[in-house]
């Protein structure tokens, strides 16, 4: 996104990848049955959106507080694993889609964990 207004957290690769993953999930839930709109589909997109939201929200805080928000982002990423698994088991997505979701979540989780470690060395 090109804007004359810029926020530092937008430079973080993990933030950009979290946005990409949320877009991917948003596309997937469009194919879920209508009765899932306020059930699994809602939970899945909220969890996926929460990853980027927590990264952004915590980024302007102290390092220890940012670390806490990154933990919440990590937790949301793992919640997405369950949502993807449930979607596959209920046949809303296929195995390949579930595997791609898991690949994205694994990458995000590793990035978040690495950044948490980096921050923890900065506030010791």
Q: Please write the tens of the pLDDT for every residue from 79-118.
A: 999 999 999 999 999 999 999 999 999 999 999 999 999 9
Most confident residue range from 1-10, 54-63, 102-111: 102-111
Residue 24 lies in domain: 13-122
- For residue 30, the 8-state DSSP code is T
Q: Is 62 exposed, middle or buried (0-12, 13-18, 19+ CB in 10 A)?
A: exposed
CATH (domain of 102)? 1.20.1440.60
Q: What is the reported pTM?
A: 0.93
Higher pLDDT, 98 or 64: 98
1 in a structural domain: no
Total domain count for the chain?
Answer: 1
64 located within any domain: yes
Residue 85 lies in a domain: yes
Q: What pLDDT sits at residue 86? A: 97
**Statement: residue 121 has pLDDT above 90:** no
Residue at 4 is within a domain: no
Q: What's the pLDDT at 1?
A: 61
| Phi, psi dihedral angles at 88 (to 5 degrees) | -65, -45
Distances (CA, A) of 109 to 6, 79, 89, 94: 25, 11, 23, 22
Q: What pLDDT does 6 receive?
A: 87
Give the pLDDT band of residue 119 (cuts 50, 70, 90).
confident
- Percent of the chain topping pLDDT 90: 84
């Amino acid at each position: 996104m090109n804007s004359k207004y810029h926020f530092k957290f937008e430079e973080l690769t993990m933030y950009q990848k979290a946005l990409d993953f949320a877009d991917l999930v948003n596309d997937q839930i469009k194919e879920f049955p209508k009765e899932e709109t306020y059930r699994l589909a809602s939970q899945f997109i909220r969890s996926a959106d929460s990853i980027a939201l927590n990264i952004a929200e915590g980024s302007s805080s102290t390092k220890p507080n940012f670390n806490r928000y990154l933990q919440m982002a990590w937790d949301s990423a793992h919640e997405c694993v369950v949502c993807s698994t449930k979607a596959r088991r209920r046949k809303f997505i296929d195995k390949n889609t579930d595997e791609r979701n898991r690949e994205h979540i694994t990458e995000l989780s590793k990035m978040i964990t690495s950044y948490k470690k980096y921050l923890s060395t900065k506030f010791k």
